[in-house]
Amino acid sequence: MDAKKEKQNRIRELATKHNAVILAHYYVADEIQEVADFLGDSLYLAQQAQSTDADVILFCGVNFMAETAKILNPQKIVIVPDNTATCSLAECLDATDCIQWKQRFDNPYLISYINCATEVKTISDVICTSSNALKIVESAPKDATLLFAPDVNLGNWLNKTLGVNMQIWNGHCVVHHNYKLGKLMECMTLHPRAEVIAHPECPEEILQYADFVGSTTGIINYAKKGSCDAFIVLTEVGVLRTLQMNSPEKHFYTIHSNPPICVNMKRHSLDKAILALDTLSPQITMNEDIRLAAYKPLAKMLELSK
């Protein structure tokens, strides 16, 4: 048996021993994806975290995702393989700046992307993910001043798509924001029949050329069901594994020879997952008042997503 398989087997043994469920995001390394009980995007993983009856959650994603699992499951032990896995987008806005920004508007209604700090969630009216953002924004009160944080590209795309005029915080993801239009043009010239499928965290100049814009899950479903056999993929490369597995006969292209990767998602490894399950650490902990305040807008999102 090869070393990778041995480590994956050890992870499964430890998961059984501790009645642990392993949740993994599409952007983590393939070897981690392979060993997960549930693989998905932010919304799916939050839903799984909410419904699991496991005693322990091993969360392989960035920290705000593991914190979301803890907010939804205060009684469960939530552990991560590497607790330095942060998200550049979530770090674009802290609670103090968010409060001051909110105070500048009359009757504000803050819609926060799930990629934000727990403290920002506590002062949000509702949370959204890229899977449900259209629905969540449409459900916002019509008489309020709508604020959207922290992703400027997703916010602009929502404004344009829905014909609304939300005030938007100027944050971005270092991965999706770094796709270059020139490289996309080169790739479209090389593969003229390929459809462009993009995540809404990409800049507007990129999104205007997309045949489909949607969440990671939306992208996966679109490529699987679509009749086209070639796609230019504009989201983190971790998704290529699922795209190719679902449609081995189709072709998937990235626009950069070294596409921008989410280095934080890649911090998790099999060795770190074994250690985390063996020691039940590092654990996600949280002040109960903060958790309760963050739970409210998250629960509202999950209710609106049903």
- Candidates 15-23, 44-52, 86-94, 141-149; binding stretch for ligand SF4 (CB under 6 A): 86-94
Contacts of 150 (CB under 8 A, 6+ apart): 89, 90, 92, 93, 112, 113, 115, 116, 120, 169, 171
Q: How far is the CB of 276 from ligand SF4 (least distance, A)?
A: 19
Query: For ligand SF4, which is the closer residue by CB, 27 or 109?
Result: 27
Q: How far is the CB of 25 from ligand SF4 (least distance, A)?
A: 8
**Does 125 contact ligand SF4 by CB under 6 A?**
no
Find tokens 């506590």 and name the residue: 122
> Are the C-beta atoms of 197 and 221 separated by less than 8 Å?
no
**Does 62 contact ligand SF4 by CB under 6 A?**
yes
> Which of residues 56, 265, 276, 301 is near ligand SF4 by CB under 6 A?
265
Q: How far is the CB of 256 from ligand SF4 (least distance, A)?
A: 15
**Does 264 contact ligand SF4 by CB under 6 A?**
yes
**Does 174 contact ligand SF4 by CB under 6 A?**
yes
Q: Which of residues 21-50 bind ligand SF4 (CB under 6 A)?
A: 27
> Are the C-beta atoms of 251 and 190 separated by less than 8 Å?
no
Helix (H/G/I), strand (E/B), else coil: 22: strand
Q: In this structure, how many other beta carbons lie within 10 angstroms of the beta carbon of residue 103?
A: 8
**Does 112 contact ligand SF4 by CB under 6 A?**
no
Angle between helices 288-304 and 42-51 (to 10 degrees): 110
**Does 87 contact ligand SF4 by CB under 6 A?**
yes
CA neighbor of 238 nearest in space, from 221, 211, 260, 255: 260
Q: How far is the CB of 152 from ligand SF4 (least distance, A)?
A: 12
**Does 262 contact ligand SF4 by CB under 6 A?**
yes
Binding mask 204-243 for ligand SF4 (x = CB under 6 A): --------------------------------x-------
Find tokens 């398989």 and name the residue: 5
**Does 131 contact ligand SF4 by CB under 6 A?**
no
Beta strands in 118-256 (DSSP E): 126-128, 145-149, 167-168, 195-198, 212-213, 230-234, 251-253
**Does 88 contact ligand SF4 by CB under 6 A?**
yes
Beta strands in the chain (DSSP E): 20-25, 38-40, 56-60, 77-79, 108-113, 126-128, 145-149, 167-168, 195-198, 212-213, 230-234, 251-253
- Candidates 6-14, 186-194, 248-256, 259-267; binding stretch for ligand SF4 (CB under 6 A): 259-267
Residues near ligand SF4 (CB under 6 A) are 27, 62, 87-89, 115, 173-175, 236, 262, 264-265
